[in-house]
């Protein structure tokens, strides 16, 4: 059958195909509609999904675009900033002379360069110049913030620019000392809040000093012998220098004999003004009791200005003597019979003993012993020589020769000898002005012989240890009484009141913490005092006078320290024809600030008729 014929059979009006009953398993009209509904819903769902997907794609594209934009913008900003500012494109340095003379005006130069496009804001240079550099006053854009630091204000450094600033000043300090100066450039880049810093430093050697210090003393010293440390201070500049101060640190083994001129305090001298090229000389004499072979150090420093930030060191020097042994030993001992010979008092007898020993291996011939004795408190009229000798009044020197002491004619190895003398301390100490105080006795013994194998002194003289004997405080303490009120003639049962006056004089030394204890007998009553320094303890019937400090010269160059109070007594029948005690012994305690020793004194009892007004009539009447 042809294809056309088959088509006609199917589609023609007489075709039986149209009337043929369909198999339900093959086709169902209702079910077909349900399928169509489902297909329609699926299409709608798929259509919505497709629309949502398209929208998501659009949004995602936008987000990705924004991210890409931000990354590009950030990279561009960072690239721009990298070209706008970088800390390593800022340089800073300083330039100072390698050497400089003290007090010569010098300029310190500071160089800076900004190789950025950004400006450098709030720019400044902090300069730390220490103690050896002094900036000149009133410099433009420079502010001194402390004794050792200042700030140079630059404010703004343009991009791509460089510049420099200078600081004028002068170096001061010991010769050959190194003056180190450090500086810091501080700035804040434009459009930033971060502060950056760059450091620089320089060092200058000071080749000369405006003030020089020289010490002229032997490099070898016998232990205990007299040593004269000679210090010379000179202003080598052409300018006057003011407010000069010198300090000396001495070894603890050094005992002072004398200082000329006197120090202002301890081992500190306020020299003050020195004219151009002026020289001043100072002598510090004393003894070094140190171990053989040891090296002792004296450190001298000279500066200008007040202590602290205002002080500037100009020069210093060290003296380092070595302690050596002596071929002959000379030693002096003092006996004052009080305080182990360490202190003498007015009116007291003092005995000296000078002992010498030949410590060498050869005999010493025709040795001579001398002793220099100094002290305003010495009563030279009382001087007594234990053996024959001679006193040279003009030089205040005692001399013993072989004619006086046979042992000095030939002093064999290990042989020893001794000479003695004594004198009294003046009873009336020579106090006439406020400067007359702190008396002391100083003595230096010496022995010489042509045979002394000493390399220390050409004149073959060996000195002894220096002895300084301080004179302790002379304190005069007394009490007196006088009638005040009540029954003038003491009678049994009737009250009499007396005024007690106590007085203290400190002649030659300052004393401190002075207290007087005044015990009253039971029959005596305390009637009051006019000073807050007086206190009374009723239970023990004791009066205390709290004196405190008393200056030297009190009672001589200034008025005595006094206090008054009143006591009363009602005589009893057992005291008829007697003179009752008003005050028992009074006791003084204090500290001598010169000798640092305790002072103890006492005043005698005071009786009813101690003032002598009544004599026998002053006895208690019935």
pLDDT in tens, 232-250: 999 988 788 889 999 999 9
Residue 342 lies in a domain: yes
Residue 422 lies in a domain: yes
CA atoms within 13 A on the CB side of 80: 6
pLDDT in tens, 418-427: 999 999 999 9
Specify whether 458 is located in the same domain as 493.
no
Specify whether 250 is located in the same domain as 296.
yes
Residue 119 and residue 85 in contact, taking contact as beta carbons nearer than 8 Å? no
Specify whether 550 is located in the same domain as 466.
no
- Buried b / exposed e over 284-305, threshold 16 CB at 10 Å, is bbbbbebeeeeebebebbbbbb
Confidence check: pLDDT of 439 > 70 = yes
pLDDT in tens, 340-349: 568 999 999 9
Task: Write out the E strands in 250-348.
Answer: 254-260, 268-274, 279-288, 298-304, 312-319, 322-324, 328-335
Rounded percentage of the chain residues whose pLDDT exceeds 90: 53
Of residues 261, 214, 209, the one with CA closest to residue 236: 209
Among 157, 174, 207, give the residue marking a domain's end.
207
CA atoms within 13 A on the CB side of 493: 2
Give the C-alpha separation, 125 to 110, whole Å. 9
pTM (global) more than 0.75: no
Specify whether 437 is located in the same domain as 522.
no
Residue 357 and residue 411 in contact, taking contact as beta carbons nearer than 8 Å? no
Confidence check: pLDDT of 201 > 70 = yes
Q: How confident is the model at residue 26 (pLDDT cuts 50, 70, 90)?
A: very low
So what's the pLDDT on residue 11? 52
DSSP string, 320-388: -PEEE--SEEEEEEEE-SSGGGT-B-TT-EEEEEEEEEE-SSS-EES-EEEEEEE-TTEEEEEEEESSS
Work out the average pLDDT over 509-536: 94
Contacts of 292 (CB under 8 A, 6+ apart): 223, 323, 324, 325
Domain span holding position 536: 475-618
Specify whether 267 is located in the same domain as 376.
no
Cis before residue 246, ω within 30 degrees of 0? no
Contacts of 544 (CB under 8 A, 6+ apart): 515, 516, 517, 518, 534, 535, 536, 537
Task: Give the 3-state DSSP-derived string for 24-48, with helices as H, strands as E and coil as C.
Answer: CCCCCHHHHHHHHHHHHHHHHHHHH
Q: How confident is the model at residue 27 (pLDDT cuts 50, 70, 90)?
A: very low
Contacts of 238 (CB under 8 A, 6+ apart): 276, 277
CATH number where 434 lies:
2.60.40.10
Residue 39 lies in a domain: no
Residue 26 lies in a domain: no
Which token pair is 393? Answer: 């009044």
Specify whether 143 is located in the same domain as 271.
no
Among 207, 224, 245, give the residue marking a domain's end.
207
pLDDT in tens, 134-189: 899 899 999 999 988 999 999 899 999 999 999 999 988 788 889 999 999 999 99
CATH number where 308 lies:
2.60.40.3670
Q: How confident is the model at residue 47 (pLDDT cuts 50, 70, 90)?
A: low
Specify whether 340 is located in the same domain as 284.
no
pLDDT in tens, 67-102: 655 655 554 444 445 458 999 999 999 999 999 988
Give the C-alpha separation, 524 to 545, whole Å. 17
CATH number where 562 lies:
2.60.40.290
So what's the pLDDT on residue 174? 80
Confidence check: pLDDT of 459 > 50 = no
Q: How confident is the model at residue 30 (pLDDT cuts 50, 70, 90)?
A: very low
Give the C-alpha separation, 466 to 33, whole Å. 142
So what's the pLDDT on residue 72? 52
Q: What is the mean pLDDT of the chain?
A: 85
Residue 225 and residue 465 in contact, taking contact as beta carbons nearer than 8 Å? yes
Among 324, 349, 364, give the residue marking a domain's end.
324
Residue 602 lies in a domain: yes
Residue 500 lies in a domain: yes
Residue with tokens 């800022």: 90
Give the C-alpha separation, 40 to 34, whole Å. 10
Q: How confident is the model at residue 13 (pLDDT cuts 50, 70, 90)?
A: low
pLDDT in tens, 280-333: 999 998 888 888 899 999 999 998 887 665 677 888 899 999 998 777 888 888
Q: Is 117 exposed, middle or buried (0-12, 13-18, 19+ CB in 10 A)?
A: middle
pLDDT in tens, 460-482: 566 666 788 999 999 999 999 88
Residue 340 lies in a domain: yes
Work out the average pLDDT over 422-438: 94
Give the C-alpha separation, 557 to 507, whole Å. 9
Domain count along the chain? 4
Q: How confident is the model at residue 622 (pLDDT cuts 50, 70, 90)?
A: confident
Confidence check: pLDDT of 436 > 60 = yes
Residue 27 lies in a domain: no
So what's the pLDDT on residue 79? 42
pLDDT in tens, 354-377: 999 998 888 989 999 999 999 999
Which token pair is 592? Answer: 């001598």
Specify whether 589 is located in the same domain as 501.
yes
Cross-strand partners of 518: 543
So what's the pLDDT on residue 142? 95
Specify whether 362 is located in the same domain as 447.
yes
Which letter does DSSP use for residue 575 in this model? Answer: G
Of residues 216 and 450, the one with the higher pLDDT is 216
So what's the pLDDT on residue 336? 82
- The sheet carrying 390-392 orders its strands as 390-392, 397-400, 368-374, 440-448, 461-470
So what's the pLDDT on residue 70? 64
pLDDT in tens, 573-614: 988 888 888 899 999 999 999 999 999 999 999 887 655 444
Specify whether 519 is located in the same domain as 416.
no
Which token pair is 315? Answer: 């020069």
Specify whether 181 is located in the same domain as 248.
no
Contacts of 490 (CB under 8 A, 6+ apart): 496, 569, 571, 580, 608, 618, 619, 620, 621
Specify whether 117 is located in the same domain as 166.
yes
């Amino acid at each position: 059958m042809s294809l056309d014929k088959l088509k006609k059979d199917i589609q023609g009006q007489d075709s039986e195909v149209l009337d043929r009953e369909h198999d339900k398993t093959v086709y169902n009209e209702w079910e077909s509609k349900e399928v169509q509904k489902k297909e329609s819903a699926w299409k709608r769902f798929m259509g919505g999904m497709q629309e949502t997907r398209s929208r998501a794609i659009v949004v995602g594209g936008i987000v990705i675009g924004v991210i890409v934009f931000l990354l590009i913008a950030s990279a561009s900003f960072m690239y721009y900033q990298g070209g706008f500012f970088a800390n390593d494109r800022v340089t800073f340095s300083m330039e100072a002379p390698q050497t400089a003379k003290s007090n010569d005006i010098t300029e310190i130069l500071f160089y800076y360069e900004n190789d950025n496009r950004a400006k450098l804001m709030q720019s400044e240079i902090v300069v730390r110049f220490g103690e050896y550099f002094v900036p000149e006053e009133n410099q433009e854009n420079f502010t001194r913030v402390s004794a050792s630091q200042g700030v140079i204000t630059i404010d703004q450094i343009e991009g791509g620019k460089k510049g420099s600033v200078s600081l004028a000043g002068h170096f001061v300090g010991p010769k050959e000392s190194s003056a180190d100066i450090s500086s810091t450039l501080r700035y804040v880049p434009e459009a930033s809040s971060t502060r950056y810093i760059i450091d620089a430093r320089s060092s200058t050697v000071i080749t000369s000093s405006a003030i020089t210090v020289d010490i002229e003393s032997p490099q070898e010293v016998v232990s205990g012998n007299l040593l004269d440390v000679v210090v010379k201070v000179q202003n080598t500049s052409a300018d006057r220098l003011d407010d000069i101060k010198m300090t000396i640190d001495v070894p603890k083994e050094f005992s002072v004999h004398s200082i000329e001129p006197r120090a202002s305090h301890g081992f500190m001298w306020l020299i003050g003004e020195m004219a151009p090229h002026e020289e001043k000389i100072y002598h510090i004499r004393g003894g070094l009791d140190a171990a053989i072979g040891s090296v002792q150090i004296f450190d001298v420093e000279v500066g200008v200005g007040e202590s602290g930030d205002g002080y500037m060191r100009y020069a210093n020097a060290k003296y380092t003597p070595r302690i050596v042994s002596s071929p002959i030993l000379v030693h002096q001992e003092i006996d004052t019979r009080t305080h182990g010979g360490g202190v003498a008092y007015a009116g007291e007898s003092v005995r000296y003993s000078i002992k010498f020993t030949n410590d060498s291996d050869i005999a010493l011939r025709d040795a001579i012993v001398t002793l220099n004795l100094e002290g305003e408190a010495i009563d030279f009229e009382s001087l007594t020589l234990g053996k024959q000798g001679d006193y040279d009044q003009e030089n205040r020197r005692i001399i013993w020769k072989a004619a006086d002491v046979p042992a000095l004619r030939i002093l064999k190895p290990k042989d020893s000898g001794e000479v003695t003398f004594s004198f009294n301390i003046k009873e009336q100490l020579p106090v006439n002005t406020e400067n007359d105080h702190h008396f002391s006795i100083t003595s230096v013994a010496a022995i010489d012989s042509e045979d002394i194998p000493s390399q220390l002194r050409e004149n073959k003289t060996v000195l002894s240890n220096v002895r300084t004997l301080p004179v302790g405080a002379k304190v005069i303490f007394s009490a007196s009484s006088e009638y005040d009120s009540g029954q003038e003639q003491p009678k049994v049962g009737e009250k009499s009141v007396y005024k007690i006056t106590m007085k203290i004089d400190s002649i030659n030394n300052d004393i401190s913490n002075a207290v007087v204890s005044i015990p009253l007998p039971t029959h005596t009553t305390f009637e009051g005092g006019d000073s807050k320094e007086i206190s009374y303890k009723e239970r023990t019937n004791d009066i205390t006078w709290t004196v405190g400090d008393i200056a030297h010269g009190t009672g001589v160059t200034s008025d005595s320290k006094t206090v008054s109070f009143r006591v009363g007594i009602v005589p009893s029948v057992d005291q008829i024809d007697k003179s009752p005690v008003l005050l028992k012994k009074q006791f003084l305690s204090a500290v001598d600030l010169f000798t640092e020793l305790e002072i103890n004194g006492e005043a005698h009892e005071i009786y009813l008729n101690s003032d002598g007004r009544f004599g026998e009539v002053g006895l208690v009447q019935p």
